[in-house]
């Protein structure tokens, strides 16, 4: 199985500042034939299901604010939240869909400093 | 709007069985792969099982293989998860999730239900 490791586990950020979450996979998730990275990012607020933010490592889902962006390739990926808003407080998960079983990172809790 | 609504959660004894249902609406249910993903209390997300749009292919996590069965009824726009031989570590919120709209398997999940809590305890 591909192991997804996120850092940090907890991230205190002041409102209006940038939050950067890292995700590392134990195996490349870059499909060379399609030149696509099989990585998605989700946001989960307390008591709610996960919400899709980013797919193909950097494509923003419709309706997601442009302060959210994804980057990276191969085994190292980043989710950036520019100018953190109060409503962005949540746990963020990366997920690989390169192979089965699809696996998730352990989550990063973003909170207001 | 896409809606996924789970039902059937509850308290079950170790070794017992439980059946979860998920009702889909707002999209062509019969055209999508569907999945179950679970989340133990205070923990992360774990993919459980997936089923092809016509029900002809299924995939399971090793942790549930041989104990859980995923199925669907496209006429009823419904997804099911039959859980047998339940153990304490199966305690979790079970989410129904729609596979991304590529008409194929192994993508991200673009819509999720609110989840159903299954507690396995004596």
pLDDT tens digits along B99-113: 998 877 889 999 999
Segment B45-64, tens digit of pLDDT: 999 999 999 999 999 999 99
Cβ pair A41, A54 in contact under 8 A: yes
Which of B44, B62, B113 is facing A106, going by the closest CB pair? B44
Mean pLDDT of chain B: 97
Rounded (to 5) percent helix, strand, coil in chain B: 5, 50, 45
A40/B47 Cβ within 8 A: no
Confidence of residue A54 (pLDDT cuts 50, 70, 90): very high
User: φ and ψ at B31, to 5 degrees?
Assistant: -100, 0
Are the C-beta atoms of residues B68 and B83 closer than 8 Å to each other? yes
CB contact under 8 A, B45 and A48: no
Residues lower than pLDDT 70 in chain B: none
Taking CB atoms and an 8 Å limit, are B47 and A50 in contact across chains? no
- For residue A51, pLDDT beyond 80: yes
Residues above pLDDT 90, as percent of chain A: 99
**Residues of B with CB below 8 A from A97's CB?**
106-108
Which residue in this structure is represented by tokens 């933010």? A53
Q: Which residues on adjacent β-strands are paired with residue A36?
A: A31
Residue contact B95–A50, C-beta within 8 A: yes
B83 forms beta bridges with: B18, B68
For B100, the closest chain A residue by CA position comes to A55
pLDDT, tens digit, for every residue of A64-98? 999 999 999 999 999 999 999 999 999 999 999 99
CB B119, CB B12: distance < 8 Å: yes
Residues B46 and B17: their CA atoms lie apart, in Å, by 20
Q: What are phi and psi of B76, to 5 degrees?
A: -105, 5
What number of residues does chain A have?
113
Q: Are B12 and B34 in contact (CB under 8 A)?
A: no
| B62 contacts A101? CB cut-off 8 A | yes
Q: Tell me how close the Cα of A64 comes to any Cα of chain B, in angstroms.
A: 12
User: Among B46, B108, B112, whose Cβ lies nearest the Cβ of A49?
Assistant: B112
């Amino acid at each position: 199985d591909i192991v997804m490791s996120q850092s940090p586990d907890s991230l205190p950020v002041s409102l209006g500042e940038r939050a950067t979450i890292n995700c590392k996979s134990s195996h490349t998730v870059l499909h060379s034939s399609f030149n696509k990275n099989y990585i998605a990012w989700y946001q989960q607020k307390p008591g709610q299901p996960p919400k899709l933010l980013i797919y193909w490592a950097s494509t923003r889902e419709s309706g997601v604010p442009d302060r959210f962006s994804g980057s990276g390739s191969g085994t190292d990926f980043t989710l950036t939240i520019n100018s953190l808003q109060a409503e962005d407080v949540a746990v963020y998960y990366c997920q690989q869909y390169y192979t089965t079983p699809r696996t998730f990172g352990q989550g990063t809790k973003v909170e207001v400093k | 709007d896409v809606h996924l609504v789970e039902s059937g959660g509850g308290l079950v004894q170790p070794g017992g069985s439980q059946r979860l249902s998920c009702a889909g609406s707002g999209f062509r249910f019969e055209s999508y792969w569907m999945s179950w993903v679970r989340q133990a209390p205070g923990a992360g997300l774990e993919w459980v099982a997936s089923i092809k749009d016509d029900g002809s292919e299924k995939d399971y996590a090793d942790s549930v293989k041989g104990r859980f069965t995923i199925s669907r009824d496209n006429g009823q726009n419904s997804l099911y998860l039959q859980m047998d031989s339940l153990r304490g570590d199966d305690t979790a919120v079970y989410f129904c999730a729609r596979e991304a709209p590529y008409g194929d398997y192994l993508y991200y999940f673009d819509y999720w239900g609110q989840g159903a809590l299954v507690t396995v305890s004596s």
